[in-house]
Structure formats: C-alpha cells, structure tokens
Structure 1
Amino acid sequence: MAHVISTAHGTHSLTARIRSTVKGLADSWVKAREFQRTYNELDALSDHELSDIGVRRDDIADLARQHVYG
C-alpha cells in the first residue's frame, strides 16, 4: 500500500516537472525569438541611423541580449 501511495505522489511530481520543463522551453523559445527580432531590427538600420542613437554595429548582439535577458 505504501508503494502505491509513493508511486501516486511520484506521478504528480513527474507531471509537475514535465509542465515546468515545457513552460521553461516555451519561455526560452519566446526569448530567443525576441532576441532575434531585436537583433534583426537593429541590424537593418544603416550605420548613420545607428550612430544617431549612439549604437555601434558591434554592440547590436549585446544590446539585443541585454534587452531580452536583462
């Protein structure tokens, strides 16, 4: 009987871990898409436009990463 109770409790934990993993993967996917969108938008700007906003082309990846991941 204790084994059945332990298994039932373990199944709940497994379900919770699976949900947590799926949520984590979904969050990661959303952040990766946001990074790529931000990067692409900045990269599409001309050097003159980037200069106007005080950004060097070499800093685009760092800025996109900071924007998304903090």
Structure 2
Amino acid sequence: MAYAAETPRTEAALPLGWVSEMIEAFKLRRARRAAYRETLTELKAMSDRDLADIGLSRMMIDDVALEAAEMAVGK
C-alpha cells in the first residue's frame, strides 16, 4: 500500500485537451448553423424577381446559404 500512496495521481490522469477541442468545434458548428439559417431565411423570404436581380434562382438558395455560412465563420 505504500507504493500506491507514493504514486502521484497526475500520472494516471487523462489529458483534457480533447474536451476543449470538442467544445470549440461545437461552438464553430453552432455559429455556422446560425449563419446558415439566417441566410436561408432571408433568401427564402425574397421574391423570385428579387432573387433574379442579385443573380440567383430558388434552386441556388441552399448552396448560397452554405457558402455564406462558411465565409461568415471561417472553415
């Protein structure tokens, strides 16, 4: 038992860097999703004529929203 008492607990501890990495990844995904939803909502609210004025069609809305989310938050 003397050996167990002399062994520091920090040697057996797991590195917790992965927890902070997971938290940061979650924050990044949440920010991207928020930017995506905001862009998607704004573009879907536009009329076909307004979309045509900016060079878009309804079929392009999802792709444009994804691209805007990546640009707003970064990759």
After superposition, residues 1-70 of structure 1 pair within 5 angstroms as 1=7, 4-8=9-13, 10=14, 13-14=15-16, 16-69=17-70
| CA-atom RMSD in angstroms | 1.6
**5+ residue gaps, structure 1:** none
CA radius of gyration, larger in:
2
Alignment TM-score, normalising by the size of structure 2 = 0.75
Structure with the bigger percentage of helix: 1
Render the CA deviation track for 1:15-55: whole Å, top value 9, x for unaligned: x1111101111110111010000011011100000011110
Partner SS state of residue 55, structure 1: coil
% same residue: 25
The number of equivalent residue pairs is 65
Write the distance in 2 (CA, Å) between the matches of 1:4 and 1:36.
Answer: 46
**Normalising to structure 1: TM-score of the pair?**
0.80
Q: What runs of 5+ residues in structure 2 fail to find an aligned partner?
A: 1-6
